């Protein structure tokens, strides 16, 4: 689960990390009130669960309360990469001397956390990683030891060295007291590690990490992703999530993995890979899926029925493809679920349902469906046939 910047910064502050004074606001007037309390100038920043807000104009520095009110109003009306801005964060502006990039992130390759530091922050850090990989410090953290102090010091030393030769801003300011700044940066590394570890994060990113003209260190941004599987350990964080799509929420409660897409072919399958593969084959044949729905392993008839109901409750579904390879999931359970939902859902009338059942219980399931004699259900032999027929139905 991705946290909003101000939520992440609250975790940072609780871990003793230096963040600018600030508070979120939901209206232009509330933003102006926060700015008045903090003192001007302030930064007004879009709170949205994705990157790229800077390029979208979601961050403005304001010198008057009127500017704050106007900027907040405009930003609150924005969307970034399709996501609505949930609030603005109004923060005291920080005088930037150097910008760096610092993160603790789960590394699949290391099977554990990695501290990542780059002496040049901002949005171009990915380019830097590609063009000058040696400029990026990567320190793997041993899961059984945690972050060692020497590792934090290594990163801090790299940060101070980078600041001394920094190209942002154009004329680098020498650090007043490099040793003091290094200690502050090492403390930030420790603090980020604590947030990462203690709060079950998979990403804790500060970009930019700012060194001010007088050698102070400030976390100017905060991107925090919490491991969904560990939210039970953090009820306070679990409460911070966005309102999900109601269909997705109902599905999750029933153990289904359900994502709304924008096509017109409903898809039900078991196993994320099989469903993805079904979508790929639909797309290759020119079809567009209305959803991704994985009923999971050992799905009950009720779960399958819910899946069908959810698909039919959406707009404009012209056909449904059911692709089941029975393992733990049994074909007869799937068949029962389909029958139940098709009989009780008015919207089912007239929507053709193509069903491919293979593996465990396939014969039993096919027999059940055949016995029921539902007019809009058609059993198919393989995925190729399923895809061909469902795309043809869509086109009809």
Partner 1 sequence: MAVVVDAASRVLVQGITGREGAFHTRRMLAAGTNVVAGTSPGKGGQTVEGVPVFDTVATAVAATGVDTAVVFVPARFARDALLEAADGGLKTAVCITEGIPVRDMTEAAAHLARRCTTLIGPNCPGIVTPGACSAGIMPAEVFCAGDVGVVSRSGTLTYEIVAGLTAVGIGQSTCIGMGGDPVHGIGFVECLELFAGDPQTAAVVLVGEIGGDDEERAAARIRDGFAKPVVAYLAGFSAPPGRRMGHAGAIVTGASGTASAKKAALEEAGVAVAASPAEVADLVRAALRQE
Identify the active-site residue in 67, 91, 120, 205: 205
Q: Which of residues 13-52 bind partner 1 (CB under 8 A)?
A: 49-51
**CA–CA gap between residue 218 and residue 191 (Å, rounded):** 12
Residue 326 interacts with partner 1 (CB under 8 A)? Answer: yes
Known catalytic residue: 258?
Answer: no
Residues 331-370 that bind partner 1 (CB under 8 A): 358-360
Q: How far, in Å, CA of 329 to CA of 307, rounded?
A: 15
261 binds partner 1 (CB under 8 A): yes
Q: Is the peptide bond before 169 cis (omega within 30 degrees of 0)?
A: yes
Report the residue number, 2 or 91, with the smaller CB distance to partner 1: 2
Q: Which of 101, 196, 258, 354 is catalytic?
A: 101
Q: For the range 56-60, what are the long-range contacts, defined as Cβ-Cβ under 8 Å and sequence gap of 24 or more? A: 56/80, 56/81, 58/85
Cα angle for residues 297, 299, 302 (degrees, 5° grid): 165
205 is catalytic: yes
* Contact pick of 154, 264, 340, 364 for partner 1 (by CB under 8 A): 154
Give SS3 for 19. coil
84 binds partner 1 (CB under 8 A): no
- The token pair at 352 is 């053709």
Binding mask 171-190 for partner 1 (x = CB under 8 A): --------x--x--------
CB 90 within 8 A of CB 44: yes
178: which DSSP letter? H
- Judged by CB under 8 A, the stretch of 13-21, 25-33, 306-314, 322-330 that binds partner 1 is 322-330
Backbone angles phi, psi at 243, to 5 degrees: -65, 120
For the segment 122-141, give every residue that binds partner 1 (CB under 8 A).
123, 125-126, 129-130, 133, 136, 138
168 is an interface residue for partner 1 by CB under 8 A? no
From the list 131, 150, 165, 170, which residue makes contact with partner 1 (rule: CB under 8 A)? 150
Q: Would you count residue 274 as binding partner 1 (CB under 8 A)?
A: yes
- Residue 95 structure tokens: 């005088």
Task: Say how far apart CA 325 and CA 360 lie, in whole Å.
Answer: 7
Residue 67 lies near partner 1 (rule: CB under 8 A): no
Q: Which stretch binds partner 1 (CB under 8 A): 89-97, 238-246, 281-289, 347-355?
A: 281-289
Select the residue interacting with partner 1 from 33, 78, 283, 302 (CB under 8 A).
283
- Cα separation of 215 and 139, whole Å? 24
Q: State the binding string over 230-249 for partner 1 (x if CB under 8 A, else -).
A: x-xx----------------
Give the helix/strand (H/E) hosting 269.
strand 265-269
Q: Which residues contact 127 (CB under 8 A, 6 or more apart)?
A: none
Does 282 bind partner 1 (CB under 8 A)? Our answer is yes
Q: Which is nearer to partner 1, 50 or 168 (CB)?
A: 50
Shortest separation between residue 284's beta carbon and partner 1, angstroms: 7
# residues contacting partner 1 (CB under 8 A): 82
Q: Tell me if 78 contacts partner 1 by CB under 8 A.
A: no
Judge contact between 244 and 252, C-beta under 8 A: yes
Helices (runs of H) and strands (runs of E) counted in the chain: 13, 18
Catalytic site positions: 101, 205
């Amino acid at each position: 689960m991705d946290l909003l910047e101000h939520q992440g910064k609250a975790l940072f502050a609780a871990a003793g990390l230096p963040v600018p004074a600030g508070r979120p606001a939901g209206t232009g007037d509330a933003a102006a009130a926060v700015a008045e309390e903090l003192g001007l100038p302030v930064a007004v920043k879009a709170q949205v669960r994705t990157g790229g807000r800077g390029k979208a104009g979601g961050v403005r520095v304001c010198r008057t309360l009127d500017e704050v009110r106007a900027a907040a109003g405009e930003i609150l009306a924005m969307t970034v990469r399709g996501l609505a801005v949930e609030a603005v964060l109004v923060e005291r502006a920080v005088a930037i001397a150097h910008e760096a990039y610092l993160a603790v992130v789960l590394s699949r390759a290391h099977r554990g956390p990695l501290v990542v530091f780059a002496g040049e922050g901002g949005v171009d850090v990915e380019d830097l990683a590609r063009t000058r990989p040696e400029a990026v410090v990567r320190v793997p953290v041993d899961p059984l030891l945690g972050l060692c102090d020497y590792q934090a010091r290594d990163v801090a030393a790299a940060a101070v060295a980078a600041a001394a030769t920094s190209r942002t801003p154009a004329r680098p300011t020498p650090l007043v007291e490099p040793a003091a700044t290094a200690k502050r940066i090492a403390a930030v590394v420790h603090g980020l590690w604590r947030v990462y570890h203690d709060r079950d994060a998979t990403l804790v990113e500060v970009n930019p990490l700012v060194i001010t003209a007088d050698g102070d260190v400030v976390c100017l941004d905060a991107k925090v992703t919490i491991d969904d599987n560990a939210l039970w350990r953090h009820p306070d964080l679990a409460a911070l999530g966005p309102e999900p799509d109601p269909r997705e929420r109902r599905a999750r409660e029933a153990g289904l993995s359900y994502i709304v897409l924008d096509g017109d072919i409903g898809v039900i399958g078991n196993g994320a890979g099989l469903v993805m593969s079904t979508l790929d084959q639909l797309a290759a044949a020119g079809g567009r899926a209305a959803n991704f729905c994985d009923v999971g392993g050992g799905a009950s008839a009720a779960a399958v029925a819910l899946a069908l109901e959810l698909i039919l409750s959406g707009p404009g579904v012209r056909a449904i493809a059911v692709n089941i390879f029975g393992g733990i999931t049994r074909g007869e359970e799937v068949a029962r679920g389909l029958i139940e939902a098709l009989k009780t859902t008015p919207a089912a009338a007239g929507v053709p349902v193509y069903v491919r059942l293979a593996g465990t219980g396939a014969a039993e399931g096919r027999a059940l469906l055949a016995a029921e004699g539902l007019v809009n259900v058609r059993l198919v032999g393989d995925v190729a046939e399923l895809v061909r027929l469902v795309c043809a139905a869509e086109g009809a």
